[in-house]
Amino acid sequence: MQKELSLAYSPCPNDTFLFYHLVHESLSETLRVQEELYDVEQLNQFAGEARFDVTKLSFAAFFHVMQNYALLDSGSALGRNCGPILIRKKGKVVKSPTEEKILVPGLQTTANLLLNLHFDKKCSVVATRYDKVIPALLREEYSYGVIIHEERFTFAAQGLEMVVDLGEWWETETGKPIPLGAIAIQRSLAETYQQEFGKKLRQSLELAYAHPEKTKNYIKENSQSIEEEVIQKHIDLYVNDFTRELGEEGKEAVLTLYEKATALGLAPTTDVKNIFAGY
């Protein structure tokens, strides 16, 4: 009999690309997964409740739930030149970002964590769903906003301009890739299930690379963008070698972000000996 695991991830192209084969094909004889898709901030909130056996969540949120979840070696979104971007309406006269309320795509997102690290916690934020940031700026309801996902490819064409590339700032500050989204598994699950899921997740990614035509419709059905070029750019940017395997460089980047977050009181300290799934 197969063990059923609950799995939650976002409708963004990098996640639907990653999980397609795991969800839609019988890759494992011992596991089957039941998926649910939510916005990343909703996933962060559910992780706080330990609602799902396996979940996508922001690294900023993961740091708050490490007692319950361990980080899988495959599936995470890390990289270079792919971080959140602080933007404003082009040509608009505004005060400094530290004097204005800034829209962020969720209080528990890595985007919000990076913003606070950049401004040394001297900023005031308002949370909204990530796809509502740009419309609010265009309506001039707010002067500044932090964008993630597909929006980094479309904001300039909509009359907006970059103030700070928070990912670029992080890379200059630390020399490390930026950890954005994590895939975490419940520590309470038997090690054999953790190991099997991790192995099949990596297989799902390899199959997605080998058979991209199979994933295309599923990705498009769930993406905020229907433009294939934007979807492919999104996948190319957020699915990379770190998604296959964190490796030492990826693990060091995660630990560096955690240390900087705890130093500013933006994440709790923990007595968890290993934040990574060790099986």
Inter-residue contact 186 to 142 (CB < 8 Å): no
The encoded tokens of residue 225 equal 């963008």
Distance between CA 236 and CA 214 in Å, rounded? 17
Kindly tell me the burial class for residue 4, based on how many C-beta atoms sit within 10 Å of its own C-beta (0-12, 13-18, 19 or more): exposed
Q: What are the respective helix, strand and coil percentages of the chain, to the nearest 5?
A: 45, 20, 35
**Residue among 182, 51, 7 nearest 108 (CA):** 182
Catalytic residue among 64, 149, 211, 234: 149
* Positive or negative torsion for Cα 224, 60, 23, 37: negative
Q: How many CB atoms lie within 10 A of CB 197?
A: 27
Q: Where are the beta strands (DSSP E) in the chain?
A: 3-9, 31-37, 54-58, 69-71, 77-79, 85-89, 101-104, 124-127, 144-147, 160-165, 178-186
Q: Which amino acid is at 143?
A: S
Q: Judge whether 149 counts as a catalytic residue.
A: yes
**Catalytic sites, residue numbers:** 149
